[in-house]
Structure 1
């Protein structure tokens, strides 16, 4: 009986050890390791509008309050390269921002397309004393570009990113609507605001379609920003700032922390646990 009990105890200990090893191995396999993260894009990624910029970023206006920095600071990141730049077009991203990409890159975020379509010019065309008709004409020109020319620009950008970072999960980040429909003390009529929001929707529609065609994930910030546009009770987007026009119509610190970061967290949650 004593020998049998010893053998039984030894077998039980061996099984326990094997099960512990299997569980530990499975947990290690499931847990994502540190991610090499590269953040590309235009002003909506660089953090223009937050008012506090990295001293060495110059006119690119990269901010530690922008969603790429916030994401990197709240996740297990092996390396973080932040090359997004205020004013960048899709061609600028291709020419100037792809250097940090490699086959070790695990995550890429990118926002681009708004500057290709001239949305800053469109906004200027809609400011008082411009008429609703003037604003509509500028919006229609921008939407025509978005539908007819921008898709090819986006395809080339996403192809270049994939070629340089073949193992990366690519998250294409969209744009929020800029305005609420509440009573507005600023120089935008309800008609202009609706027209500009429609332009943002068209831009996001095309960006989302090309992102998905490229096998990337589209992160749509519009749900998170609902109720927080210009003319809302709690705006997360800067109104026109004559003292520093570049800050105008860009997300604030809250826009990045409470709008963009949750949007990107949602998009990357499943990608980084595969």
Structure 2
């Protein structure tokens, strides 16, 4: 995107980040990501909140358990549901912090890629029917949090969650990887096609 638009990119994204890692809390040696935003910043893209509600973490835990893995951990659905109740406000706090530091910036909220098909499952995504239902609910509530936050703050919503329907991990043309991807790829994370699609949506949002 930066190459195509001539933008000067500052990338402070970090795998595993939560909203706290954007606003207040170091992530390893990386300071809070909000420190990269200043009065001269004119565009900020944000994807956050999934780790606040253990979205991927729970999918990986279930997949590990169902694949005969060891030390897989457990999934606390109560804690996830509680976190889902506050994640929208946390995402809104991130948007408001960006606004405070960069009042002229355009803010794009890029929602998460769809990971599961609307019905059923597939080899390579080892979740039970009950687990798939639960994870679809988590995904839907996250997507709704993005819609609500965009409506409340005036940020531009980039609807990757919607655009990626039909390109889940089980699809013929997947935009995300399965549980055990090829070397160099990341479990249940976007592949090249998924990132190109996200870039295309961002370009469209920018007009």
Question: Normalising to structure 2: TM-score of the pair?
Answer: 0.81
List alignment gaps of at least 5 residues for structure 1.
1-70, 131-136, 270-274
> Residue 80 of structure 1 aligns with which residue?
9
> Residue 192 of structure 1 aligns with which residue?
131
Q: Distance in 2 between matches of 1:233 and 1:260?
A: 18
Q: Distance in 2 between matches of 1:183 and 1:159?
A: 38
Tell me which structure has the larger Cα radius of gyration: 1
> Residue 230 of structure 1 aligns with which residue?
169
Q: Distance in 2 between matches of 1:145 and 1:206?
A: 12
Aligned length: 190
List alignment gaps of at least 5 residues for structure 2.
25-31, 67-74
Give the conservation status (yes or no) of the 8 Å contact 2:143–2:161.
no
Offset at residue 106 of structure 1 (A): 1.4
> Residue 25 of structure 1 aligns with which residue?
none
Q: Distance in 2 between matches of 1:139 and 1:75?
A: 42
Q: Distance in 1 between matches of 2:100 and 2:195?
A: 29
Aligned-pair RMSD on alpha carbons? 2.4
User: 1:95-142 CA distances to partner (integer Å, 9 max, x unpaired)?
Assistant: 321233222221110111111111233213422645xxxxxx745542
Give the conservation status (yes or no) of the 8 Å contact 1:174–1:221.
yes
Question: Normalising to structure 1: TM-score of the pair?
Answer: 0.62
4+ runs deviating over 4 angstroms = 137-140, 242-246
> Residue 43 of structure 1 aligns with which residue?
none
SS state of the match for residue 46, structure 2?
strand
